[in-house]
Structure 1
């Protein structure tokens, strides 16, 4: 019995630490041990819930652990406070760690993999924990699960289970906000843009725009008054992105060409804006006769290599998208005089490069 009480006391301290900056020293192994410990105590709760003597002893130990020396209770108790809390100690631990920005990248990613292992057959308890965490994340703006630091470019970004989870939670939260009318979806997105790491948030936006809409039952669609209901979160996300020209520029400059082509192929409105931006970037390049290359007029602007890569990706897309891009390039070439000589028109040189596969 004493051994069990000591374990309870030590885990209560672990739970308290999970709110502090001390978790910055936690590694993936520590995360796994802490979750295993929490799950063990959940089983203790289930096993001894009706055992009065053991339950009373645990309650007394928890009560005495967090009392001040003068006998009063602290304003906010950081650890477990009663026996009932044991039934959800894994949820409490997960919530606190997901909300703690001091947790390192490796430990954070390990935590997500432990909580959302992807395809498989988890037991009923694990499914319940995942459902509770998803609900908490939606209700708390999904900010905790959107904190993806350190992710680089990924060719198969939409297949990444972590980013896909963030995208799904973001769309669900946007739909909930729209239905509750307590906050505008645009306001929520602008707040996330200001608070979250920019590159990570852009990746989540792209993944969300690539997710298929989750259709609702026909009856629910009719009750909501139209065909706009399915994929409402995606509609709000696209509307916000297209309405923020500053963010749209960063979106098109920061994400890989292949990913942007996929998003553009799914959303014609976004494709037109993307093509307009590429046009503008191309017109800001000039031909350097001495070097024999196209260069930007100012530092930090789009380069010939970047422009060529993005047009090449668009021309490798499905026929409707490819045809529209080639038609636009031919039109801009004609507006420049239709010259076939390299170095006169950026559009001529782009067409020649695309045709040669260079």
Structure 2
């Protein structure tokens, strides 16, 4: 029992280091693995002894001097109780995300989404998706809780969106310098290149959070997204219309960016005589003319104030094409007609 008490105390100290110390700058993949290993150990200890009153009392007594020592040496430290050990891995994850000194190499591991759902951490020999099982557990809690409404993005993406906002919040609180936050987002984007659809859902979930303390982080995320035209175009073409409407309603920056993407898609179209339809000329077309029309209609329905200004702009573009009312001569004229049908 003495060894168990010592291990639990050491893990609590580890949690404090992960959340508050600059030492994490030197952490590598194996260090993070060992940290999560010890947290799983503590979760096992809680599961085994939480109903044993005598042992629980001994462990709680052992944690008191550990917490006191950490309070004395670390400003802002919060005590860890025996009950907290049941979600020790979650505490470690949140602590790491909120530590602005955590290197991008570790963030890539935390945010990697490529591991299949049925892969456990013990099977993860290559270091892919270290926290996938935590995300799945939190997602399951969201799905099973009768008091929690899960959004259309899906539970996994919603949990990862919260993780994303926690990290951005920590970086913005540390400094007004945006370089670290940009580096973090670029790092996550690079790590999710194999699953852009899921990353778009993570971004959507982050932007749809309603926590007022994260307003600055959401604004920064929107600014970053506008600078990533390829990602923005993928979002506007691949996401369900219902999610795009929700984003447009909540964020003026997004609805303006969405409108801009749709106009760029239209500008890249040419009329196909053989198909009798407007088609994109790009190598990887994103929207058909019909889908483009549906997106504009949905955007105007969500934001009626945007309709007049956009129609005026489209009409000016039609006039610049010669102001013909013959189908196939101006994408802008045909788009206006289709929208207003």
Alignment TM-score, normalising by the size of structure 1: 0.56
Q: Deviations over 1:14-51 (max 9, x none)?
A: xxxxx79xxxxxxxxxxxxx999776314156542457
In structure 1, the partner of 2:137 is 111
- Does the Cα contact within 8 Å between 2:169 and 2:217 map onto a contact in 1? yes
Shift of 1:253: 3.1
In structure 1, the partner of 2:307 is 322
Residues 271-290 of structure 1: pairs in structure 2 closer than 5 A: 271-290=255-274
CA distance in 2, matches of 1:299, 1:271: 26
In structure 2, the partner of 1:337 is 322
Shift of 1:208: 2.0
Q: Against the structure 1 CA distance between its residues 101 and 306, is the aligned structure 2 distance closer, same or farther, given a 3 Å change threshold? A: closer
Q: Against the structure 1 CA distance between its residues 355 and 329, is the aligned structure 2 distance closer, same or farther, given a 3 Å change threshold? A: same
Matched residues, number: 247
Q: Are 2:177 and 1:192 aligned?
A: no
CA distance in 2, matches of 1:287, 1:85: 68
Q: Against the structure 1 CA distance between its residues 328 and 262, is the aligned structure 2 distance closer, same or farther, given a 3 Å change threshold? A: farther
SS of match in other structure, 1:316 = helix
CA distance in 1, matches of 2:45, 2:271: 64
Out of 205, 209, 214, the residue aligned to residue 211 of structure 1 is 209
Q: Against the structure 1 CA distance between its residues 281 and 118, is the aligned structure 2 distance closer, same or farther, given a 3 Å change threshold? A: same
Q: Against the structure 1 CA distance between its residues 42 and 104, is the aligned structure 2 distance closer, same or farther, given a 3 Å change threshold? A: farther
In structure 1, the partner of 2:332 is 347
Q: Which has the larger radius of gyration?
A: 1
> What are the ranges of 5 or more consecutive residues in structure 1 without an aligned counterpart?
1-18, 21-33, 53-83, 123-154, 216-229
Out of 185, 203, 226, the residue aligned to residue 242 of structure 1 is 226
Q: Against the structure 1 CA distance between its residues 336 and 234, is the aligned structure 2 distance closer, same or farther, given a 3 Å change threshold? A: same
Decide which moves more: 243-252 or 338-347: 243-252
CA distance in 1, matches of 2:190, 2:206: 19
SS of match in other structure, 1:291 = coil
CA distance in 1, matches of 2:235, 2:241: 11
- Does the Cα contact within 8 Å between 2:46 and 2:82 map onto a contact in 1? no
Q: Are 2:147 and 1:163 aligned?
A: no
Q: Against the structure 1 CA distance between its residues 305 and 42, is the aligned structure 2 distance closer, same or farther, given a 3 Å change threshold? A: farther
Alignment TM-score, normalising by the size of structure 2: 0.59
CA distance in 1, matches of 2:166, 2:91: 20
Shift of 1:259: 2.3
Q: Against the structure 1 CA distance between its residues 103 and 346, is the aligned structure 2 distance closer, same or farther, given a 3 Å change threshold? A: closer
- Does the Cα contact within 8 Å between 1:284 and 1:297 map onto a contact in 2? yes
Out of 82, 85, 88, the residue aligned to residue 85 of structure 2 is 88
Q: Against the structure 1 CA distance between its residues 45 and 304, is the aligned structure 2 distance closer, same or farther, given a 3 Å change threshold? A: same
RMSD: 4.1
SS of match in other structure, 1:300 = coil
Q: Against the structure 1 CA distance between its residues 118 and 162, is the aligned structure 2 distance closer, same or farther, given a 3 Å change threshold? A: farther
Q: Are 2:200 and 1:202 aligned?
A: yes
In structure 2, the partner of 1:180 is 174
CA distance in 2, matches of 1:175, 1:87: 23
Q: Deviations over 1:39-98 (max 9, x none)?
A: 63141565424579xxxxxxxxxxxxxxxxxxxxxxxxxxxxxxx9998265349979x9
